[in-house]
Amino acid sequence: MEQIELGDVTITRVREYYGSVEMTPDAFFPESPKEVWDDNAPWLTPHFLDRDTHSVRSAIQTWLLRSEGRTILVDTGVGNHKDRPYAPVWNRLETDFLAHLSRAGVEPEDVDIVINTHLHIDHVGWNTSLHGRKWVPTFPNATYLMPKDDFDFWNPANGHQSRLGRGNQNVFEDSVAPVHQAGQTVLWESRHQIDAALRLDLAPGHTPGSSVLTLTSGTDRAVFVGDMLHNPVQILEPDANSCFCEDPAGARATRRKVLGWAADNNALVIPAHLGGHGAAEVARDGNKFAVKGWAPFAPYTELG
């Protein structure tokens, strides 16, 4: 199953990539205790941890929503043909993402809204496609919702320093600026109501403008958390940041706040990068959290 319904909203999982990100747990999550990986290895492998290389496995995927007659994409992955000299895993990819989107019943011109939860390399790539020697919006009829705080932070003209170093090099220029120059962006601040079921809120920490998308429809609840967490270990250890969090204290506070809301409201937590079943229900476990159940999406069975 690649599609579920929550209230009046349909959610479809569209894959770009699944496999190792060529980082060990201690490199990716330096604040996570080694024993939590060891103790939970039987269920973390193979979907979230590679048994042979002991490297973290992640998915690059887009969440396709259909709500109130509109077609909405949450995050757009890495993209094809992108020059990423300081991120070799994502350098000049050639994937079948648009074909996967088409199999889900959506062509680029059908998309009404694109949501970038934040403006990292692996969340904005398919914002644009290469036509000749020019980057143009992939989704010509869409409004692209971008958090203004991230737009300003990643704009090279503003000269901000990032924990990524040069890891996000070229991303603003080839995947953000062309959409803005085409007049297709809405740079929102603090909160943005999309429709009766969907609302964007700032959730800073991972980046200054990181955001979460809350779905409320009937009795169903979900929260799309972007990179608030990359791996289920961060549910078990909510204070364990990834090495890419710009504001470590802010990231920990945001993670605890959102996971607490999800646990108290029986909301499905839908990160950007989980393999396996892609999303989880969580429960409070003392001052931490536990996985209560998995979403019914079918796990990916092939790498790449």
> Could you read off the pLDDT of 126-164 as tens digits, one per residue?
999 999 999 999 999 999 999 999 999 999 999 998 988
User: In this structure, what token pair is assigned to residue 304?
Assistant: 């790449």
- What span, in angstroms and rounded, lies between the C-alpha atoms of 283 and 110? 37
**Amino acid identity, position 36:** V
Question: Which of 77-81, 162-166, 216-220 is predicted with the least confidence, judged by mean pLDDT?
Answer: 162-166
- Among residues 221, 240, 237, the alpha carbon closest in space to that of 279 is found at 221
Q: Which of 162-166, 169-173, 175-179, 196-200 has the lowest mean pLDDT?
A: 162-166
pLDDT above 90: percentage of residues in the chain: 96
Three-state DSSP string of the chain = CCEEEECCEEEEEEEEEEEECCCCHHHHCCCCCHHHHHHHHHHHCCCCECCCCCCEEEEEEEEEEEECCEEEEECCCCCCCCCCCCCHHHCCCCCCHHHHHHHCCCCHHHCCEEECCCCCCCCCHHHEEEECCEEEECCCCCEEEEEHHHHHHHCHHHCCCCCCCCCCCCHHHHHHHHHHHCCCEEEECCEEECCCCEEEEECCCCCCCCEEEEEEECCEEEEEEECCCCCCHHHHCCCCCCCCCCCHHHHHHHHHHHHHHHHHCCCEEEECCCCCCCCEEEEEECCEEEEEEECCCCCCCCCC
Looking at residues 56-61, what average pLDDT do you find? 98
pLDDT score at 164: 86
pLDDT, the chain, mean: 97
How far apart are the C-alpha atoms of 184 and 203, rounded to whole Å?
23
> What pLDDT, on a 0 to 100 scale, did the predictor assign at position 166?
84
Query: Which band of pLDDT confidence, cut at 50, 70 and 90, is reported for residue 27?
Result: very high
Identify the pLDDT of residue 163. Answer: 83
For residue range 101-123, list pLDDT tens digits in order. Answer: 999 999 999 999 999 999 999 99
Confidence of residue 167 (pLDDT cuts 50, 70, 90): confident
Place of tokens 């646990």: 263
Q: Which pLDDT score is estimated for 214?
A: 98
Does the global pTM surpass 0.95? yes
Q: How far apart are CA 209 and CA 190, in angstroms?
A: 9
Rounded CA-CA distance 271/247 in Å is 19
Domains of the chain: 3-294 (3.60.15.10)
**Shortest CA distance to 212 belongs to which of 298, 257, 203?**
203
Query: Long-range pairs for 298-303 at CB < 8 Å and ≥24 separation?
Result: 298/1, 298/2, 299/47, 299/275, 300/15, 300/18, 300/47, 300/59, 300/275, 300/276, 302/18, 303/18, 303/19, 303/20
Q: What is the mean pLDDT of residues 254-282?
A: 98
Report pLDDT digits (tens) over 1-14: 799 999 999 999 99
**pLDDT reported for residue 165:** 80
Give residue 268's pLDDT band: very low, low, confident or very high (50, 70, 90): very high
